[in-house]
Amino acid sequence: MASERIENLVRQMTLEEKAAQMVQIPYAQTGREESLRWAKMGAGSFLHVLGDDAREVQRAALSSRLGIPVLFGIDAVRGHALNDRATIFPTQLACACAWDREIAKDMGKVTAREVATDGLHWTFSPLLCLSRDARWGRVDETFGEDPYLTGELAAAIIEGYQGGDLASPESIAACAKHFIAYGEATGARDAYDSSVSCRKVREVFLPPFQKAVDAGCATFMTAYGSIDCTPLTADPHMLRDILRDEMGFQGFVVTDWSNVTSLVRNQRVAKDADEASLLAALAGNDMMMNSPEFYESVIRLVKEGKLEEAVLDEAVRHILTVKERMGLFEQPEKTGKPGCIGCEEHQQIALNAARRSITLLKNNGILPLKKVKKIAVIGGNGDDIRAQYGDWTYFTHPEPIPGRQPVRPYTTVREGLEKLAAEKGIACEYAYGCGPVPSEKDDLDAAVKAAEGADAVILVVGDVVSQFGENRDRAELTLSGKQLELFALLRALQIPIVTVLLSSKPLVMGTIPDETDALVAAFNGGAHGGQAVAEALFGLFNPSGRLPISFPRRTGQVPVYYNQLPGWHGGKYCDLPNTPQFVFGEGLSYTDFAYRDLTMDAETLTASVSVQNVGKEAGLETVQVYFRDCVSSVITPVKNLIAFRQVALQPGESQRVTIQLNRSDFSLVNRQEQRVVEEGEFTLMVGRSSRDEDLLMVNFTL
């Protein structure tokens, strides 16, 4: 039910004003004059407009007949990173390595404060698609491959964005995207069709979005793609029956970019803008991002009696209710916290997130670096802030501007290592060697020369923005350019090599996992990613990241997500081992942890395990809880994550970790598409990664 104020407004609005309220205008692409015209017509929202331009648009909107304030949206998906002065966090994927709700929440809070200080209201974040196929271009934007971890981090970041009160000057509205199964498109082709059943959607893809609804997420975004050939934009079953009626979503739904236009131009399920607009409105999209033709079409449809005006009323109610919850009728511009954009406190929070994202995947003892007199830092990604940032910063959006200068503060891996080496009196030499994409700067000989005489080589490999993002799915995940050749040349020197993967996603690394002395996954760590890597290598902190995504051994091995179904004859490709290169949940530490005495009380559903730090350093362990349904009416995964806890332990210290589970944690979605718990035998697994050998197991009966 909308408030009296909203009902009053809806009664006063003309058909044209309602249609305009449902339109979202991209400022940069539309231009100033045209944007101001839209604002005066009562457009509901604008995206990607900052500062004085936004204020001017808002003034125009407030001077319109009803003076309904505009809602400003922006892709502040890893900090308010389209503003070059803002605090730039690690990507969602990197943040997910921390397996820490507080890290996600802090990132949300800082982002909200900075976005609000710029006068804006709404971020198109978090992204809750699952990365089950690393070829997809947008893996970096996700929290990884698992529904449980994704849902937990989603709820936390939404809490950070929205706070307890959307009307607070420092809160902004969140947007859970992209609804739904977008990451599951066939062949990992961005925005393409996903061949999944509704049962599977409910089982695997809805749960994180349900947590977003439960966290009070103000808006949802409709995916570009389709499920079994029905575009989500035109799917009332997904948007109305499931999202609103079943899941209880109360906010408004915005389409993704040009989704309405796409129904005609790309997906060919509508012959013209009128037909597309009819489908989109009936399906339950409340606001149309960058499909301005919707405005005239929808007015025409109502006038011709093809669409009931009540459909518009309902959408407008949803939009205005969010504006009301945000307090925009009283205070149209968010004020935030003046002076906070990019401030020291926020930079420290981003640095902490970067540190917590560092994931150690191999270490034969070379790390932390000690007794070295000279190190060589090699690799294009070791000194390239654009690569370190990755996607969705001022370098890439709203338009990529080649030649745009980076703004401090930031620290590349090279800079971080040079600084620490200098403090310790260690010589440090950098050579470019090669980047992920071949260029005239490539010089492998110079890199080998720089490495000669060093006590350790730090080789930074990965990908660059031209290899990922929207419209950039990869057919081949192997390290590109001359990176593998460079590794082989350096390996031949017989100097210890620490390989750092600075990338948007899991990549296939040839012989590196076997032959490198240590391997660190850093992904896109944001402004302070380089400092975090350097500190981890020198042992200034003990790395505690755990992979939120599995790494394939070869591209052809995808999908390799851990929660596979049983039943594959042979259980492996005949030309590869049956395991991924690195598994979900994996990550080493400079200390070791031992697990003992797993118990499960089937009456109270309480699991308990003892964890001890059996090494020589203090460390943070992530205790992971999985289960398997031994016999079920539909095929269920070999294991599913249902809980995790983090314990900080001093050397020798031991702790009994108790985890309260719920009956619903053991549920499945049956053939009738109902979520149920089927009684019988279950296996509970607790340990340090999703790998069987790392898990203690106990059976119990429900």
State yes or no: residue 473 binds ligand NOJ (CB under 6 A).
no
CB 361 within 8 A of CB 587: yes
208: preceding bond cis by omega (within 30 degrees): no
Closest to ligand NOJ by CB, 173 or 367: 173
Q: How far is the CB of 368 from ligand NOJ (least distance, A)?
A: 38
Joined together, the tokens standing for residue 279 give 């489908």
CB 506 within 8 A of CB 549: yes
Q: How far is the CB of 256 from ligand NOJ (least distance, A)?
A: 5
Closest CA to 641 of 93, 187, 99, 248: 99
State yes or no: residue 257 binds ligand NOJ (CB under 6 A).
yes
| List 38, 124, 205, 584, residue binding ligand NOJ (CB under 6 A) | 124
Closest to ligand NOJ by CB, 470 or 673: 470
Show Cβ contacts of residue 165 under 8 Å, excluding neighbours closer than 6 positions. 171
Closest to ligand NOJ by CB, 161 or 430: 161
Q: How far is the CB of 124 from ligand NOJ (least distance, A)?
A: 3
Closest to ligand NOJ by CB, 203 or 391: 391
Where b means 16+ CB within 10 Å and e means fewer, 575-599 reads eeeeebbbbbbbbbbbbbbebeebb
Show Cβ contacts of residue 425 under 8 Å, excluding neighbours closer than 6 positions. none
Exposure of 116 in the CB half-sphere (CA atoms within 13 A): 29
State yes or no: residue 75 binds ligand NOJ (CB under 6 A).
yes
CB 505 within 8 A of CB 75: no
CB 435 within 8 A of CB 443: no
Q: How far is the CB of 243 from ligand NOJ (least distance, A)?
A: 17
State yes or no: residue 27 binds ligand NOJ (CB under 6 A).
no
State yes or no: residue 252 binds ligand NOJ (CB under 6 A).
no
Q: How far is the CB of 257 from ligand NOJ (least distance, A)?
A: 4
Q: How far is the CB of 435 from ligand NOJ (least distance, A)?
A: 27
Helix (H, G, I), strand (E, B) or coil at 540: coil
Closest CA to 284 of 320, 330, 232, 333: 232
Binding string, 352-381, against ligand NOJ, x = CB under 6 A? ------------------------------
Closest to ligand NOJ by CB, 209 or 257: 257
Report d(CA 457, CA 492) in Å as an integer: 12
Report d(CA 687, CA 702) in Å as an integer: 22
Q: Are strands 695-701 and 681-687 parallel, antiparallel or unpaired?
A: antiparallel
Exposure of 548 in the CB half-sphere (CA atoms within 13 A): 36
Q: What are the CA-CA distances from residue 138 to residues 145, 151, 182, 184, 682 (Å)? A: 12, 18, 10, 11, 35
State yes or no: residue 109 binds ligand NOJ (CB under 6 A).
no
State yes or no: residue 177 binds ligand NOJ (CB under 6 A).
yes
Q: How far is the CB of 597 from ligand NOJ (least distance, A)?
A: 46
Provide the 10 A C-beta neighbour count for residue 30: 18
State yes or no: residue 256 binds ligand NOJ (CB under 6 A).
yes
Closest to ligand NOJ by CB, 72 or 487: 72
CB 5 within 8 A of CB 316: no
Q: How far is the CB of 144 from ligand NOJ (least distance, A)?
A: 17
Q: How far is the CB of 520 from ligand NOJ (least distance, A)?
A: 29
Q: How far is the CB of 552 from ligand NOJ (least distance, A)?
A: 25
Closest CA to 91 of 80, 105, 77, 101: 77
State yes or no: residue 666 binds ligand NOJ (CB under 6 A).
no
Report d(CA 702, CA 686) in Å as an integer: 18
Q: How far is the CB of 98 from ligand NOJ (least distance, A)?
A: 23
Closest to ligand NOJ by CB, 124 or 252: 124
Counting residues that bind ligand NOJ (by CB under 6 A) gives 6
**Dihedral angle of Cα 271, 273, 279, 283, to the nearest 10 degrees:** 150
State yes or no: residue 209 binds ligand NOJ (CB under 6 A).
no
Closest to ligand NOJ by CB, 363 or 396: 396
Closest to ligand NOJ by CB, 75 or 170: 75
Binding string, 453-472, against ligand NOJ, x = CB under 6 A? -----------------x--
The residue ranges that bind ligand NOJ (CB under 6 A) are 75, 124, 177, 256-257, 470
